[in-house]
Amino acid sequence: MNRVVAHFCKRLPSLAAGVALTLGVQGLNLAQAQAQETKVTIAISGWTGFAPLTLAKEAGLFKKQGLDVTIKKIPQKDRHLAIASGDVQCAATTVETWVVWNANGVATTQIFQLDKSFGADGMVVKPGIQKIADLKGKTVAASAPGTAPYFTLAWMLKKNGLTLKDVNIVSLEPQAAANAMIAGTANLDAGMTYEPYLSAVRTKPEAGRIIATTLDYPMVMDTFGCTPKFLADNPKAAKGLADGYFEALELIKSDPKKSFETMGADVKQSGEQFEGSQKYLRWQDREANRKFFAGEHATFSREAADLLLEAGIIRQMPDLSKLADTRFLQ
């Protein structure tokens, strides 16, 4: 026994050195892996359509693609400022918003589609208002010019023979607009909002009704994009962002319960509540993306740009041919 102990004691220094070497190599490998990860900051909101991006981060799908992703919740009206300042490199927003940003000098390029709204965006009105045309001279809550709710209002008014000049607009973000309608705020006749906040209105019909949604006016489509510099410097990371998103959609299919819980928690909803709100939109997989960018994207961007010019939201037409780069869908 003493010989064994003595032999072991003699080997302790070499064993310790071996362990230290192993740990050192592991630490070096970890440091190298972290150094090789591309850092990217993404700007989004609590909109249900963006939730798979959060899932991709929380489930490690972006990390699997070699990405170190930070997600920031920034109101749509301020998202372009974060891009212009360099605080974020990529963002999620509606198709027409990219038109506004590029027209105003914030160069950005869309690389994949996130979702299409099928009733997830809408206009809520107080009891007594029977049709959108009745809003002439009334007060409507909507987010700032250049945002999806503001554009949706302009679109719905135009389709009903009105313009933005025919209504009084007060600036409220989608959640605040929904809450104001539910609370019966005086001197507010209508509000523009979207899921998950629109569902809160659905449960309070006495506060008003949803007079129109994107089922009636299919014009809200969200895409993901980045600055041209980020795409030029990090093409592999750009593809990783797209692939991570598409993997998140597969995860939702294979494990919906856990996925809904993860995405719901991010907007302070239960899994069941989130599942209810996502029923009003369709996330777009890789094949749907290819079809969308084959023609629909360009057609809608042109129509949207014309309305934005007419409404005075933009003063010049951007180069519509540079709004999207589909290389990363392969």
What's the CATH code of the domain at 198? Answer: 3.40.190.10
Pair (162, 251) in one structural domain: no
What is the per-residue pLDDT across 2-48, written as a single tens digit (0 to 9) for each?
554 455 445 545 544 454 444 454 444 444 444 589 999 999 999 99
Better-scored residue on pLDDT, 88 or 146: 88
Task: Give the least confident one: 93-107, 200-214, 235-249.
Answer: 200-214
Tell me what pLDDT residue 105 has.
Answer: 95
Looking at residue 201, what is its pLDDT? 87
Q: Omega into 205 within 30° of 0, i.e. cis?
A: no
Given 3-state DSSP classes, what are the helix, strand and coil percentages for the chain, each rounded to the nearest 5? 55, 20, 25
pLDDT at 19: 42
Secondary structure class of 69 (helix, strand, coil): strand
**Residue 160 included in any domain:** yes
Q: In this structure, is residue 26 part of a structural domain? A: no
Whole-structure pTM value: 0.81
- Do 77 and 165 reside in the same domain of the chain? no
Looking at the fold, whether 321 and 192 belong to one and the same domain comes out as: no
- Give the integer Cα–Cα distance in Å for 14 and 19: 9
Do residues 279 and 320 both lie within one domain? yes
Per-residue pLDDT tens over the stretch 156-170: 999 999 999 999 999
DSSP 201-267: HHT-GGG-EEEEETTTS---EEEEEE-HHHHHH-HHHHHHHHHHHHHHHHHHHH-HHHHHHHHHHHT
Q: Is the domain of 233 the same as that of 321? A: yes
Residue-level pLDDT at 28: 43
Considering the domain architecture, whether residues 41 and 103 belong to the same structural domain is answered as yes
Q: Considering 162, 182, 213, which residue would you say is the last residue of a domain?
A: 213
Q: Rounded mean pLDDT of the chain?
A: 90
Q: Which domain holds residue 102?
A: 37-116+220-329
Is 121 in a helix, a strand, or coil? strand
Counted domains in the chain? 2
pLDDT for res 10: 55
- Out of 213, 237, 272, a domain closes at 213
Residues 157 and 101 in one domain: no
- Cβ–Cβ under 8 Å, residues 41 and 67: no
Does residue 210 register a pLDDT over 50?
yes
Residues 6+ apart with CB under 8 A from 186: none
Which residue matches tokens 């809450």? 179
- Average pLDDT of span 171-194: 93
175 has pLDDT over 90: yes
